[in-house]
Amino acid sequence: MPERRTVALVTLGCARNEVDSEELAGRLEADGWQLVKDAAEADVAVVNTCGFVEAAKKDSVDALLEASDLKGNGRTKAVVAVGCMAERYGKELAEALPEADGVLGFDDYADISDRLQTILSGGIHAPHTPRDRRKLLPISPVERQQAKADVVIPGHGPADLPEGVAPASGPRAPLRRRLDGSPVASVKLASGCDRRCSFCAIPSFRGSFVSRRPSDVLNETRWLAEQGVKEVMLVSENNTSYGKDLGDIRLLESLLPELAAVDGIERIRVSYLQPAEMRPGLIDVLTGTEKVAPYFDLSFQHSAPGVLRAMRRFGDTDRFLQLLDTIRSKAPEAGVRSNFIVGFPGETEDDLAELERFLDAARLDAIGVFGYSDEEGTEAAGFDGKLDEDVVAERLERVTRLAEELVSQRAEERIGETVRVLVESVDDEEGVLGRAAHQAPETDGQVLLTGAETVRVGEMVEAKVTGAQGVDLVAQPLPGALGREEAGR
């Protein structure tokens, strides 16, 4: 019997990439590949790259070079690039990085097993010439559902796994295999984006906005619950647009209660919300539905009107603060995070002061700050009024410092609150760590539970916040909280 082929998936970038990697893992395992965690133990190392900003692209190249160093020193025979950077640059990346034995685009995902086998056998799969994926589907959103069958959209794989890959009983999941045992998993709600922000290249290589069917999202959530997942995070480039191509822009409002009712799921989290598309009904569901986290990942990007218009976005400081007031009037303890770009072409000192005014008043739980840099293929790359790199760096440092102070203050405001903490790790040295409803994975800090040595990963524990360390919290389980978790088993 021939030795089984082995493959390792190395994932960089956002939660959407993590879902894509698990789809690739499902396809490969269904075709007989053995999944291993360590690239050094794999015949083929597949690096799922990120192509969003310069730092992410550098990390992706470093990961590819690190994996290529394994060749000749052990089992690894080939290194293959997939993901956003591979899709965005294709042939150009292959020529610039000969250390990679293959560069595969999204169109290769459906045939990933054959592609890897060809490369592993010493063959060559020609890298693609990138194209604007927004042009692959009709302009009209409602026409895309019929047309998408002819377009490869990562995360929108077949509705059912092949026999023997999914659990023997229970709802079938999309073609996916979990790559870790975390009690948290992301689920793709949609892919692509119809917005035309002048600084963003994502729509050009991720394509136009396409929703997944509610039944597919529900079935995948049920399957994940069977795998022991307790929290599901809904991801896409823009969750507030969900359903517009299915004929119902308010579809998310009806889907969320159904997801929250799935047996075994303790928390549903929605990420990637556009402030300009927030509507009263969605706010009501996010703040008033049991097991749906009152969590708002709002993509503000700036608050000075002139900068926002140049970004082809909408809003201003006062409108954004009004939105936050509306949210907190319904859920005072709601979590809010956002990202901001400083040093955008034409940004003045007054614009920066306006952003600082907003940050001072917004009481955000987590803030990401990025310095502007040109992204090829974007409208902003051709703008006049570019700021010197040292000016951008100074503004980045200034706003980052302010952001760190403000999120620390916001964490201290939570002292005395009662939070529900999902336990994610139990370690003799680091203690018991988890996250509250206002904290998304990886980005928003965590909670250290004291006096909770008997808990296990995946438990949901009610606790009182007793301290703060930067953005992180310290909390003590409430009397009887641990007993209630055990009694519910």
CB count in 10 Å sphere of residue 269? 24
Asked if residue 101 lies in contact with residue 78, where contact means CB atoms within 8 angstroms, the answer is yes
CA-to-CA dists, residue 154 to 19, 83, 112, 126, angstroms: 9, 9, 12, 20
- 193 labelled binding-site residue: yes
Nearest to 339 by CA among 383, 273, 391, 413: 273
Asked if residue 6 lies in contact with residue 33, where contact means CB atoms within 8 angstroms, the answer is yes
Long-range Cβ contacts of 308-311 (<8 Å, 24+ apart): 310/198, 310/344, 310/345, 310/346, 310/380, 310/383, 311/197, 311/198, 311/199, 311/341, 311/344, 311/380
Q: How far apart are CA 489 and CA 486, in angstroms?
A: 6
Q: Give 306-367 as a 3 state SS string.
A: HHHHHCCCCCCHHHHHHHHHHHHHHCCCCEEEEEEEECCCCCCHHHHHHHHHHHHHHCCCEE
Q: How far apart are CA 170 and CA 408, in angstroms?
A: 44
Q: How far apart are CA 202 and CA 194, in angstroms?
A: 10
Half-sphere exposure of 409 (CA within 13 A, CB side): 13
- 85 labelled binding-site residue: no
- 50 labelled binding-site residue: yes
Residue 404 tokens, joined: 């760190």
Binding region: 14, 50, 84, 193, 197, 200
Binding residues for [4Fe-4S] cluster, by number, are 14, 50, 84, 193, 197, 200
